Structure 1
Amino acid sequence: MAVTFSDLHTEEGVKSVEEHLAGKSYISGDQITVDDVKVYAAISEKPSDAFPNASKWYDSVASQLAKSFPGKAVGVRFSGAAAAAPAEAVKAEAPAADEDDDDMDLFGDETEEEKKAAEDREAAKKDTKKPKESGKSSILMDVKPWDDETDMKQLEAVVRAVEMPGLLWGASKLVPVGYGIKKLTIMLTIVDDLVSPDNLIEDFLTSEPNNEYIQSVDIVAFNKI
């Protein structure tokens, strides 16, 4: 049975999580699930000692997420300007068709036999009839407006209007960030072989006409499911 939480950035909202976790280790069972990641992301800071169940649960989820995402978190940001890369720059990345093969050999020590073996392996991969099982990922994004005058309802509408095979938008909420500005925190599930998070952000969310509302997008959490 689905559980509904609201206003998790408030003490009253955290209290509802505290009561739900009485006698439980996690939101939906004995193991961490995507439900825990969603609730964790919606709570703005660790619950105080006044909420022992929620505080213990918060530390447990944070610890397990840290194992999944090692390294210091510095954030990922894509601005609207980054999406408008000149066509010439894209062309420059592709090597000319008539370039000498030796220029493409970065190590300079690959033999003809090794090249032939590599080509045979690639050909075998293309010829296989067995369909590849595609994985999925759960992503938590922060979508930020330009200022406090941005229509956040319209901002969420343009975000959810982005549709493509393998993309499913999930729960969302508006979170205050200061000076009257709010950001949209939203969950999404993607099929890894069909949707690239970078392309989703650069080519759709922060490109015209959506960049009229969206200033930038941060990936807060990325979890394989």
Structure 2
Amino acid sequence: MAITFHHLATPQGVQELDNFLLTRSYISGYQASKDDLAVYLALKDAPSSKFVNASRWYSHISALLRPSFPGESVGVFCGNSASSETREVITAHAAESVAPNTPAPAAEEDDDLDLFGEETEEEKAAAAEREASVKPSAKKKESGKSSVLLDVKPWDDETDMKKLEEAVRSVEMPGLFWGASKLVPVGYGIKKLQIMMTIVDDLVSVDELIEDHLTEGPAAEFIQSCDIAAFNKI
């Protein structure tokens, strides 16, 4: 089945090619073929290094540009990357490159003309870089979040609740986001602060937040105790 690429002369087209080559060494099959040459000629320039797979493939095909591409072609269409006239030229060029009017090399010369011998150091490095970029994304697991409601109680009815709230909100750490708050009467003229917060579970421990930052340190001047009123996973 023929393979189609669109707009290879644009960054979007190169990105499409880069995605296609993520799990492939060649455009079709396991050997370089005239499909590789057709795409190579359709590209406006060499892909930049940010397109790891396309750049690796382009460098490899550049090194292999010899009279013979032994792989079997399935046919490739490069979309709007060139006009129909240009595509005809590319196809003719590919056919001429794949079937030159020169005799096949003798068997004893195979070693010199082997297009698929050991990988060069550059190719090995590119393959390792590609593999490293794929593995973390496959294993990456999105961290969960939780919504937590805290009851923050002052020492007495003389505690400045505005300063108490400022002390609470002054606690900052990665993965902690303070939300809405309100004052709730608890009796004898004393009010407690109820405040919402959203946390990234892998980054914030609520127990440590309370023990190390709210009931200890500067905030302890205003806070008598702090309890978890509600805890919900998001």
TM-score range, shorter chain: 0.3 to 0.5
- TM-score, scaled relative to structure 1: 0.43
Larger Rg: 2
Scaled by the length of structure 2, the TM-score of the pair is 0.41
